[in-house]
Amino acid sequence: MLSNRDNMSQIIRSSLKCAGRLLIATSLLTGGIAQAGIERDQARRIHERLTGVPPTNAVLDTMEQMIISDGNGERAALEAMKNPAFYNVTLKNYITPWTNEAQTLFAPLNDYTATVIGMIRDDLDFRGVLYDDILYTGNNVTPAYSPASNAHYVALESMDLSDPTVLVRNTQSAMNPQLPAAATAGVITTRAAAEAFFKDGTNRAMFRFTFMNHMCTDLEPLKDVSRVPDRVRQDASRSPGGDSRIFMFSCVGCHAGMDGLGGAYAKYNFNTVTGQLDYNRTDAAALADTSLNGYVAGGLSMKYLNNADNFKPGYIATDESWVNYWRNGQNKLLGWKTPPPAGVTLDERGHANGSGAKSMGAELANSQAFARCQVKKAFQAVCLHDPDQYSADRSSVDAITTDFMSNGYNMKSVFAKVADYCKTPK
């Protein structure tokens, strides 16, 4: 027979066992709830970062279950991208700064922005943004598309750009009779890009902003005074301020590479009178025009022979050939493709050579710098900070870039992977 003391000890032990089981059960239950709460918060964060708007409860439920079942948020991110706001707001604001020198996002929709939106929506190889014969326009939108006006895109802006029956794929050569297919170069030969970067000047603006927007670097970091200066044009003084050392130890660092590649744009011009892109004009009116809208024999833009008296022995363009001297020297770190893309050849010194904007666009688009740039910009748009700040972010960008290059250069996949990485506050 147990004593009162023994009975009390047994009761206490039993109570402790029950309490322990209850504590474990409660812990498992609350842990599951907490975990579910984390995944729901992650789903909400992914949706809001990609679209700028909160998800409906139904979409949030779907995304939450995707994260739970997959162990990551990539499929949930693709679900969020079905919301039209991803295209009409997020992508428009993401792309629009590339289309103007002020780099402002406060600008109307244009053919450049609409074309990039369409390429991302339709899962196209994003390298074509610099060389494809491609143009997205509105279907049954009034006013109709015109190569001399942006009114068509202003009207299109209020429509659902995620709808493939609204924003449709066409070719630039079909929509602009002055532009043959061989002269198209993705967004470079859109009206918006031409108005911003081929207008007046020397066409060097197009080169500079192409590098800024699609290679994520301005010209100053690319300066290499060891490159061959034989393509530097006549308008660049060899003795600025009367001192030739300034050219040899500074100016040539950008001009050697820039003017070598910039020959690709020698036949393009934005006509400020007609409001459209001109190419390779040899008609009497163009040859008689001595303004920067004019052309000279061979269909070359007048601006390529402008200010020839600055340095008479300088390079005189006779065609739209180009050479990439930056394949050697410090700028080989941009990761140029070897063997080079179609339409590009390598000479005995390892410099890439081609003719026209299409082949030059392919040379740039197949570089590692191009691929990494697209990932970095998507990271900044979704994660809202520069990935170069932290080693973990840089490693993530490296991994996503490798995947991007290995899997068809699909930008929606890039946005999904970036959103998954940033789904939890770091």
pLDDT, position 113: 98
Same domain, 297 and 277: yes
pTM of structure: 0.91
What burial class does residue 20 get, using C-beta atoms within 10 Å of its C-beta: 0-12 exposed, 13-18 middle, 19+ buried? exposed
**Domain contains 174:** no
Same domain, 351 and 405: no
Q: Angle 252-262/204-214 helices, nearest 10 degrees?
A: 100
**Domain contains 250:** yes
Two tokens, residue 93:
């604001």
**What is the tally of helices (H) and strands (E) in the chain?**
17, 9
**Domain contains 170:** no
One-letter amino acid at 363 equals: E
Last residue of a domain, one of 47, 73, 99: 73
What burial class does residue 66 get, using C-beta atoms within 10 Å of its C-beta: 0-12 exposed, 13-18 middle, 19+ buried? buried
pLDDT mean over 84-109 = 98
Is the pLDDT assigned to residue 5 strictly greater than 90? no
pLDDT, position 37: 82
Same domain, 406 and 311: no
pLDDT, position 420: 98
Q: How far from the centroid of its chain's Cα atoms is residue 82's Cα? A: 21
**Domain contains 333:** yes
Mean pLDDT of the chain: 92
Same domain, 277 and 375: no
pLDDT band at 425 (very low <50, low <70, confident <90, very high): confident
Asked if residues 295 and 308 have their Cβ atoms less than 8 Å apart, the reply is no
Residues 170-211 pLDDT 10s: 999 999 988 999 999 999 999 999 999 999 999 999 999 999
Helix residue ranges, H only, 52-189 = 57-70, 74-80, 84-85, 92-95, 111-121, 151-156, 172-175
Q: How far is the C-alpha of 128 from the C-alpha of 116, rounded, in Å? A: 10
Q: What's the number of domains the chain is made of?
A: 3
Residue 147: which of 262, 271, 8, 237 has the closest Cα?
271
Same domain, 383 and 307: no
Residues 287-339 pLDDT 10s: 999 999 999 999 999 999 999 999 999 999 999 999 999 999 999 999 999 99
Last residue of a domain, one of 339, 366, 393: 366
Give the C-alpha distances (Å, rounded to integers) separating 35 from 40, 44, 48, 63, 183. Answer: 9, 14, 20, 15, 55
Residues 54-74 pLDDT 10s: 999 999 999 999 999 999 999
Same domain, 383 and 413: yes
Is the pLDDT assigned to residue 16 strictly greater than 70? no
Same domain, 353 and 392: no
pLDDT, position 426: 73
Comparing 338 with 26, which gets the higher pLDDT? 338
Is the pLDDT assigned to residue 216 strictly greater than 50? yes
Collapse the DSSP code of 397 into the 3-class scheme (helix H, G, I; strand E, B; otherwise coil) and give the result.
helix
Strand partners, 276: 271
pLDDT band at 2 (very low <50, low <70, confident <90, very high): very low
Residues 44-55 pLDDT 10s: 999 999 999 999
Two tokens, residue 121:
């929506």
Range of the domain at 23: 4-73
**Domain contains 168:** no
Same domain, 378 and 278: no
Same domain, 219 and 361: yes
pLDDT band at 15 (very low <50, low <70, confident <90, very high): very low
Asked if residues 176 and 102 have their Cβ atoms less than 8 Å apart, the reply is no
**Domain contains 329:** yes
**Domain contains 398:** yes
Collapse the DSSP code of 205 into the 3-class scheme (helix H, G, I; strand E, B; otherwise coil) and give the result.
helix
Residues 118-160 pLDDT 10s: 999 999 999 999 999 999 999 999 999 999 999 999 999 999 9
ω before 340 within 30° of 0 (cis)? no
Residues 245-293 pLDDT 10s: 999 999 999 999 999 999 999 999 999 999 999 999 999 999 999 999 9
Is the pLDDT assigned to residue 6 strictly greater than 90? no
The percentage of residues in the chain with a pLDDT greater than 90, rounded to a whole number, is 90
**Domain contains 274:** yes
pLDDT mean over 339-354 = 97
Sheet strands side by side (includes 352-355): 321-324, 352-355, 345-346
Is the pLDDT assigned to residue 12 strictly greater than 50? no
Same domain, 386 and 281: no
Same domain, 306 and 387: no
Q: How far is the C-alpha of 257 from the C-alpha of 261, rounded, in Å? A: 6
Is the pLDDT assigned to residue 422 strictly greater than 70? yes
Same domain, 226 and 334: yes
pLDDT, position 101: 97
Altogether, the residues listed in the chain come to a count of: 426
Give the C-alpha distances (Å, rounded to integers) separating 359 from 87, 182, 374, 381. Answer: 29, 9, 20, 29
